[in-house]
Each structure stands twice: as C-alpha cells, then as structure tokens.
Structure 1
Amino acid sequence: MTTRRRALGWLGAVGGLAVLPAAGFAGYLYADTGRSNVGELTFRNRLGIPPLLSPSVAADGVRRFRLTLAEGRTELLPGTTTRTWGANGPILGPTLRARRGDRVAVDVRNDLPETTSLHWHGMHLPARMDGGPHQPIEPGATWRPSWTIEQPAATLWYHPHLHRSTAAHVYRGVAGLFLVNDDPAVRLPEEYGVDDIPLIVQDRKIADDGTLDESDLAFGGLTITGLLGDKILVNGTYDPYVEVVTERIRLRLLNGCNARILYVGFTDDRRFSLVATDAGLLRTPQPLRRLLLSPGERAEVVVEFRGGEAVVLRSFPAPLGTNPIYARLAGGSDTLDLLKMTAATVLRPSAPVPAELTPVAPAPTATRAPPFRLEMGDFLLNGATMDAARIDRVVRAGSVEVWVIVNGQAIPHNFHVHGASFHVLDVDGAPPAVELRGAKDTVYVPPGSAVRLAVRFLDHSDARSPYMFHCHVLAHEDAGMMGQFLTVSAQDEPSVPGILDDSHTAHGG
C-alpha cells in the first residue's frame, strides 16, 4: 500500500502540474489505460430481459419471493462459456416487483461455495432485513427477510454485500432489480420488457477462453478505483441490440459496475427526459443529453423514436473532476458503446411524458444540528476503516440530518447510505445539477469537493442492528471505506450497545 500511495502521489503531482505524460512510466500508463469498443461491436445479440419473478401469496397477504444463489456457466463471448454466479439462473437474477403497502418476504438460499449476503439497495426496511455485512448467509443456508414496502415508486436493486467480498460476488454476476410501483395515475411507459426496459450495465475483463479476469478487483499496483473492464454487458448480454416498437420507451438504467463511472447519452446527441432518480420520480421531467451515473446509481429516462431509425446508447468520456492522469486511470477517457436500439418501421403510439410527474416536496429541513461531516481519505472515512464493533453515528428514528460528504482526494469516490434517502442540498455551495434534484440514495462526490445532503431516516428503531454508509466503488468499500449507524427511538437510545453481536447470521442446515 505504501508503494502504491507514493506512486499515486507522484502521478497526482504530475497531473496537477499538467505535465504531459509523454515518456517513461507515466507515458506507458497513459497509453495503456484508455479503453474504447467503438467500431468493434456488431450488435448481434438480442438484449436479454431479466424475467419477472412471480411471488406466491399467502392467506395473510404476504407476497413471498424465492431466490437461489448458485454457480453457472454463461456464453458471454461467442464460442466460449464463462463461469458465473446468479440468482435463479447462471448470471444476474430475476426482477422482483411489488407495490407500496405490500408485505413481502424473500427466501434467499445460498448454494454458492462461499458465504455471501443479499442487500436490498435503496429499500426502506428494518436494519436486520437490510442484507448487509451483519446478515451473512452461509453455504447451504436460507435467509428469510420480510418487510412492508413503505416508499414511493422507484427502481431499486439487490446485490451481495459481505465485507471484503462484495466486489468479487457482484462481479461474478449476482445482481438484480427490485421495482416498486406506486401511483398508477402517472402515465409513463410501463409494459415491462417492451416499452419499460431495464438496463443493468456492467463491465468485465474476459479472456479469449472465456475466463473472467478478477486480477484487478482489489487494489494492487497503481489501481485507484479497482477493476475497469473493456467488455460491456447489458442485462448480462454482450454486444446487444433491442428492438423498439413504441414511439416512446422508458429505460431503467442501473450502473451495476464495480468501479466504472458512466456518462450516458446517444450517438446522435438526441435529448431524453429524465423522469426519476434513485429513490423515485422527479417533480417534472428534465431534458438532458448526457447523464452521469456512478456505481450503484439508477435513473429512469424516456426516449422518443421515429419509425425505422437506429441509434446507439453510449458511455462517453466522463467529467470526473480530477487531474488528467487520475481521470484516465479511473476510466474518464473511455468511450464505450452499450446498446444499439433499432425502431420498427411502424411504431405504436405512446402518450407524451406528463408535464408534472409527482408533487415532490422540497428537501426536508434538518431536525438535528450540527451537520455530520464525513471526510473521504485514502480509502478511509474520517480517518478510519470499517470496524464491525464500532458504531460511527447514532441517529434518531424519523429524523432529518444534514450530512456533509467531503472528498479531499484526487481519487473519484461516491457515497451510498442504507435504509434512507436524501436530497442533495448543494455541491461546493452551488445548487445541484438538475439530475441531482430528486430523491437519491447514492451520489457521486467529485475529487476536491463537498456534497451537502439532507438525509431522512426511517422510523424503524433498532439499538443493535446497524445500517451501513460507504463508498460504492466496490474496491474502496471492500478496502474499508465504510461505516455504520444505528437508527433508534428516544426510548431505545439508552440501550445502544458498545459492541455489536452477530446473532443474525443465517447458518446452514
């Protein structure tokens, strides 16, 4: 680590002085790190759509879903198969869907050869149902969380979250969507897989024989974000295309990458309407041509088509806000085609996007002062790495706090909080960009910046089971860039323990 820090510090100094890396080791790195697949794809494979998982409904109304995590083999590159992990299949998992007010339960069986967990990213639920590091599932065990859906419509997702193993388990393929439906009066494209299309975007490094390359998942050498792959998968499909059959389609975009920051737009530079961010609908649609999505972030956009046209969805070089060398090492110079979209000659009519989507309230007012400040250091939060026996914050159930997330490094980071959502109040004192003005749970924190959040915490009180907050660049998270907080009522606050136990482990048998 010391060697890596010294080297990165030297490179940062070079980048900060704007010295061209034209020779020597810096020149080699600069030439070796740029990635592009433009012109390499033929868009030959029909985009796979994760199937909707039907729950069983008990007499008491509980909707029970069943997921089995297991190994499999998937043809990613033509003529080869790759060993992958998935839920109810060889890679990724089915889409779960429920409505606000539903009582849901999920049986998660682990048939993998390793202990794992399954976190409901963005879901508002009790901490002991969250699926983080404190709810591990051993091989052969079944974990059975249950909760009531208590949030507006949103595109959420699930993925493993076992400390120090999250990057590998997500990279091998365990991930899927959990869609919350809410207001049927909002007229947006809603026919799943037809005009309401999920896009789980991930990058991989795949050898010619199909082997999944995991060599850069953790830190080593001069890696600053972890693995950046040159093979793009969308819904587990390599080199994909999708047929458009309606005048407008809704794309539910998820950056499911370990480290890559996407800057999404279309090759013809067309506008699209941003209608929702991580935690729900915007008040009004926002016209955009580019959209930045860091790992874990989601967005819903509506795109218009004319009959017979074709366009490619692309990730352009991302404005990461760091020096040129760090930007290149973090993938900020990469141009990657994601998906070709081809419209039928005659398209079914679609209703226009409503001028108002939902009466979103303004950012909530803090009920506790002063703000909680989190400094992002060299893979540290407030100078410390993750410690399962340490509580970093105790918040009052149902309260609103201002959290200030400071990235004093030149390295890109982002921030995700479990069991809560937030509004971005400002970035370096300036109003947030339009794509940051909705309810969110994950946000990019540019190098050298401070992002101020109004975080609304749940009413669930638990003096022993913590939620997590962390950088969602998964190599950073696994390296210890994560902390814990408890949400407790006034009555439960005196019983907050000094040491956590692991009584919620699911054991095999």
Structure 2
Amino acid sequence: MTAATLLFSVALGAEALAASPAAPPQPPSTAQQEQGMHPGRPFKDPANADTTATKNLTITLDAAQTSFSVGGKQLYGQSYNGSYVAPTINAAPGSTLTINLVNHLPVATNLHFHGLHTSPSGQSDDPFLCVAPGARLSYRLVIPADHPQGTFWYHSHAMGTSCPTPGTAGMPGMSTGGFMPGDVENQVFAGLSGALVIGDDRTLLPKPLRSVTAHTLVLKDLQVDATGHILQNTATATINSDNPTVRTVNGQLQPVLSMKPDETQLWRLVNAGADIFYQLQLDGHQFTVVGEDGVPVAKVTTANTLLLPPGKRYDVLVTAGPTAGRTTLRTLAYSNGPQGDAYPNTPLATLNVTGTAVPKLPTVSGAIPTAPVDLSTAAIAQHRSVQLSESSDGNSFYLNGQQYVMGAGSIFATPAKLGTVEEWTLTNASGEDHPFHLHTTAFQVMSVNGTPQPYTNRQDIVVVPHATNGVPGRAVIRIEFHDYPGRWMFHCHIAAHEDNGMMSYINVVP
C-alpha cells in the first residue's frame, strides 16, 4: 500500500468514526452515587407514624415530591411525610385504621396495604382506587380480631399517572383506552413505601423471649443521577434494575447495629423496594424464622441465607456471638435468571457485638401459636393455571398470554367462591424469575419445579423459577378464600413487570 493510499484510508476511517452514533453514557457507579453519603452511623429504626393510639389509629400521609436525607446526603424523590423511608404504621388486631392520603404529586397515586387480610372493596385495600393530583382519600381498614401478627408494608399501587373517568367499563377508576403502563415502579423507587406492623409477634414467643429488643429493617435501593435526583422513567431516562444501585437500610448507608454478647433480638426484615432481590446473610450467624410475609410459621426453621424478592418480609430471631466483635449483614451476589438481573455482593450493615454478655435465651422450635392450618388435605374446589411470560425485548409482560388492559376483566372466566380452597399452578416461560404476589390473603406453596414443599408457613409472595432449557419453571400453590368478596388482585411484584402488563385479578363471590 502506498503512502497516499494509507493516508486516504486513515482519513476515511476517521470520518466514519466521527459519523457513527455516540455510545450511550455509562451509568454512574455505586461508589459515585454514594459520594456525599456517610456510612457507619449508628442504626436507627424508621420513625413510627403514631405511638399514642391504643386501639384505633388515624394518621395522615402526605405524598409529595420533596428532598430528604439518604445516608446523610440530601436527595430528591417522593415521600410520605417527608422521609425516604415512610413512617412505620403500627396497628392492633381488632382495631380500625384510618389513613388520610393527601396527594401533592403532579400525578395520580393510591395506597396498597401489602399482605393485610382486609376487604379489597370500598374505601379499604382496593388497588383500583385512584387519588388525583390535589385530591385526598380516607382509607378505612377494619383489622380482624384474629388477624395474624407480623410484618407487612404499604406502598403506592398507582395504575397510571392520571385518574380516568369513574365507572367506565364497569370498573370504577379505570379507563377503556387500552393498555396503559402503571406508575408503581416510579413511585415506589422514588420513596413511596414503608413498613406496617400488626400486633407484636414477640407475644407469641416463649415467655423469656417476649421482651427482646425488636428492630425493623426496611431495605430500599435507589439510583441517583448527577443532580441528586432519584432516577425516574421519563421520555429521556429509564430505570434499569441491573445498573449500579445504592442499597440502604432504613435510609442509612451501612449503619452499625449494636448487640451485647449472647443477646437475642427480633428483626423485622422488609424488602420495600421496587424491583430487585436481596439474598441476605449475616456472616457467622443464622436466622431463626418465626414469621414469613406477616404470618406466624407452622414450623420454626433456621437459615444461613434468606431470599427477599420485592415485597418479601421475614420476622427472624438473631442471637449474637459470645464474644465482642464485628460482622456484616450483606446481600450476596445473586442472579434471578439469564434474562434477568445480576446483583453484586454488597454490605448492608455492620453488627457490632460489644459490652457485657447477657444470659443466653432458649431457642424456639415447633409451631408459633396462631399459625394457619395445613391445606395439604383440603378439598380442592377448582384448579387454575397461570402462565407468566414476556416479550422477546423484555418490555411487555403477560399472564395467560394477556397483557393487563385497563378496563378489561379477569383472566379467569369463573369466579372463586368464599369458603373454598383452590389450587393454582403457576408456570414461568421466561428467562427470569418472577415473584408472584396475591392480594388479600396468604397462600400455601405445595411444590416448586415438581419438588414437594413440606408445610412450614403461608406466604403472599412466591418466586416462580425461570425456564430452563425450554422447560418452564413451576410453582403450585393453594389458596383459601374466606371473609371478603370482591376483586383479589395478583401480579408479579417486580414493579416494572406489573406496570407493563403482568397483572390481573380474580372475582371472589359469596
């Protein structure tokens, strides 16, 4: 090649390079997003919404765009009452809980009281209610006297950004304009979620354990842009749950929780984030599970790790070691499937064992009082199938081949009847796991991928495994329908998936 030809070729290469589209900017790393935050501060529980009411509670939640402190750094997002982690609501079985939701947001919102066994109709836990910008709505939750004592949570369940004309298509608050993505991911990711505790499940433990210290650990993740705003889905930006993320505990960055040697505490663990999983491990320790998804367990188990998909809760006993020292509460590296996300090993908090040792308390075994009965021998009134799938580009999601359409009916032609038990087979044809959630009641998992599951608990979220070598993942559950007629919603609890179609409901009739 001559020199002239070489120069001509280099010039053409430079011109082609200049004309090619610019590569998309790389998202900021977790370390860059954490700049200005202060790790290692003393652990703090979330604020309580009210600590004075003994039976009936009335509180106001102001939903607004605001700034708040996360890890000691001022960020911009959305909040209930000005805090990134919303105040913990405490209510007693047999009480009435009134929550006045005031919407200061520029878009519609509402509330869902995740896991509560209360009416899905009227001014109760009805996800079809819609609160327009500038409006307010009073929710009235009548908590049954026999309601399970445990840990729940509440969050926005906005089905869209505006409130359509009520009454269209026989579905109040819903439109007939075809598929409309919801706004759950934006609002929960921005901060609209918090813990809700019914009763005090320490009272169900053996007497020596009833006065142990209890802590609530609300796990939330966020992504921060260069201006200090929590990322939102807009015309120019998209939340990508696989991007570098800041993980927080009660809005703190790697706080330090102190215990005395041999001390036992009750930890209420809540994944109150929008999309991502936590695989929890407390290095050198075990979790003793006494409650799952707000329901006392029928068999106490111990675990080295706990998987918390979005919306999951565990009530666990943790006993410190016999000597002083420090260890780490972390979320382990985890992938939810070849087409899903892959999360890195990330420290969440430090456990500091310090001071004078205390007498070691007895261990717990067997069933926790008030645990629900085993449904293994129940008569099955109806078998149903729910297939979970998604489009090849991962942007649209389906149940039984249908993308949830505003104003349309249930994927099931026949309703469920109160007083019956049904068995549902959930299959997942996609390449990522889907955490399936049912409103209004907890269910029993019978098998996962063909492996029978011995009865230890009921739960309101189960991870349906991804397909492997073309074979769909499978989970079989049994649901006891009791107390409340109405529309019981179910969906994938990855907020981006429910927003984009993986949602429906079943009509429950007397």
The answer to whether TM tops 0.5 is: yes
Identity level (%)? 23
Cα separation, 2, equivalents of 1:32 and 1:111: 30
* Contact map agreement 1:419 1:457 (CA 8 A) in 2: no
Cα separation, 2, equivalents of 1:229 and 1:202: 14
Q: Which amino acid aligns with 1:418?
A: H
1:442 corresponds, among 461, 481, 489, to 461
Cα separation, 1, equivalents of 2:345 and 2:142: 41
Counterpart position of 1:99:
92
* Contact map agreement 2:27 2:244 (CA 8 A) in 1: no
Cα separation, 2, equivalents of 1:461 and 1:208: 48
Cα separation, 1, equivalents of 2:149 and 2:410: 31
Shift of 1:94: 1.2
* Contact map agreement 2:310 2:493 (CA 8 A) in 1: yes
Q: 1:205 to 1:330 in 2, by over 3 A?
A: same
Residue 156, structure 1, aligned to residue 164, structure 2: no
Counterpart position of 1:74:
68
Q: 1:130 to 1:316 in 2, by over 3 A?
A: farther
* Contact map agreement 2:381 2:421 (CA 8 A) in 1: no
Shift of 1:208: 4.7
Q: Report matched runs for 1:265-276 at 5 Å.
A: 265-268=281-284, 270-276=285-291
Post-superposition CA distance 1:358-385 (Å, at most 9, x none): 2532126554444110000111000001
2:308 corresponds, among 277, 293, 313, to 293
* Contact map agreement 2:68 2:82 (CA 8 A) in 1: no
Q: 1:93 to 1:200 in 2, by over 3 A?
A: same
Residue 421, structure 1, aligned to residue 450, structure 2: no
Shift of 1:421: 1.0
* Contact map agreement 1:119 1:130 (CA 8 A) in 2: no
1:461 corresponds, among 471, 485, 497, to 485
Post-superposition CA distance 1:124-147 (Å, at most 9, x none): 111124545411112232222223
Post-superposition CA distance 1:227-273 (Å, at most 9, x none): 654211111112322222570111111112222111110233x2221
Q: Report matched runs for 1:108-257 at 5 Å.
A: 108-128=101-121, 129-150=123-144, 151-163=147-159, 164-181=182-199, 184-187=203-206, 195-214=213-232, 226=241, 228-245=243-260, 247-257=263-273
Cα separation, 2, equivalents of 1:219 and 1:454: 40
SS in 2 for 1:424: strand
Q: Which amino acid aligns with 1:317?
A: A
Shift of 1:459: 1.6
Shift of 1:346: 1.8
Shift of 1:284: 3.2
Q: 1:227 to 1:174 in 2, by over 3 A?
A: farther
Q: 1:373 to 1:120 in 2, by over 3 A?
A: same
Counterpart position of 1:374:
386
Q: 1:475 to 1:189 in 2, by over 3 A?
A: farther
* Contact map agreement 2:423 2:477 (CA 8 A) in 1: yes
Counterpart position of 1:343:
353
2:48 corresponds, among 41, 45, 52, to 52
Q: 1:284 to 1:364 in 2, by over 3 A?
A: closer
- Name which one, 1 or 2, has greater alpha-carbon Rg: 2
**Aligned length, in residue pairs:** 440
Shift of 1:33: 12
Q: Report matched runs for 1:353-372 at 5 Å.
A: 353-359=363-369, 360=371, 361-363=373-375, 365-372=377-384
Residue 487, structure 1, aligned to residue 508, structure 2: yes
SS in 1 for 2:334: coil
2:57 corresponds, among 60, 63, 68, to 63
Cα separation, 2, equivalents of 1:381 and 1:282: 30
Shift of 1:353: 3.5
C-alpha RMSD over aligned residues: 3.2
Counterpart position of 2:4:
none
Post-superposition CA distance 1:78-122 (Å, at most 9, x none): 5x4211222222322111112222222222222222210110000
Cα separation, 1, equivalents of 2:475 and 2:374: 17
Shift of 1:53: 2.2
Cα separation, 1, equivalents of 2:269 and 2:97: 24
**Structure 2 length-normalised TM:** 0.78
SS in 2 for 1:171: helix
* Contact map agreement 2:186 2:232 (CA 8 A) in 1: yes
